């Protein structure tokens, strides 16, 4: 299942990634403060909706989002 990781200390809470995600998986929860004293956004995806489309990462000015995709095992 594709997924993303928010690098909390790199995130500046600009929220540009929030509307960029077609599945609304990124939220401005203000749940914690990072090292800079800013609120990083949170990625919440209990149903595994992330498609790994990278749109969130593309719009992030601070390269604070990493996107992972499973390595497809070659079928035997």
Partner 1 sequence: MDVITIEGTEYKVVAERPKSLTDTPFTYCPGCNHGTTHKIIAEVIDELGIQHRCIGIASVGCSVFSYEFFDFDFISVPHGRALAVATGAKRMRPDSVLMTYQGDGDLAAIGTAETIHACNRGERVTCIFVNNAIYGMTGGQMAPTTLLGMKTTTSPLGRDAKRIGWPMKMSEMLAPLQGAAYIARVSMHDAKHILKAKAAIKKAFRAQLEDKGFSMVEVLSNCNVNWHMTPQEGVKFIEEQMTKNFPLGVYKDVWQEEAAKQTAKEEG
Q: Which residues bind ligand SF4 (CB under 6 A)?
A: 4, 6, 11-17, 20-21, 23, 25-26, 40-41, 50-56, 59-60, 62, 64-65, 67
Q: Which residues bind partner 1 (CB under 8 A)?
A: 3, 9-10, 12-16, 19-20, 38, 52, 54-55, 57-63, 65-71
Cα Rg, the chain, nearest whole Å: 13
For residues 41 and 26, is the Cβ–Cβ distance under 8 A?
yes
- 27, interface contact from partner 1, ligand SF4, none, CB < 5-8 Å by kind: none
- 3 beta partners: 68
Half-sphere exposure of 16 (CA within 13 A, CB side): 14
State in angstroms the smallest separation of the CB of 76 from partner 1.
17
């Amino acid at each position: 299942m594709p997924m993303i990781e928010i690098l909390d200390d790199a995130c500046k809470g600009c929220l540009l990634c929030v509307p960029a995600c077609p599945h609304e998986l990124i939220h401005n929860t203000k749940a914690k403060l990072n090292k800079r004293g800013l609120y990083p956004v949170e990625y919440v995806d209990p149903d595994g909706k992330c498609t790994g489309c990278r749109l969130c990462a593309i719009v992030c000015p601070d390269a604070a989002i990493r996107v992972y995709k499973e390595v497809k095992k070659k079928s035997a």
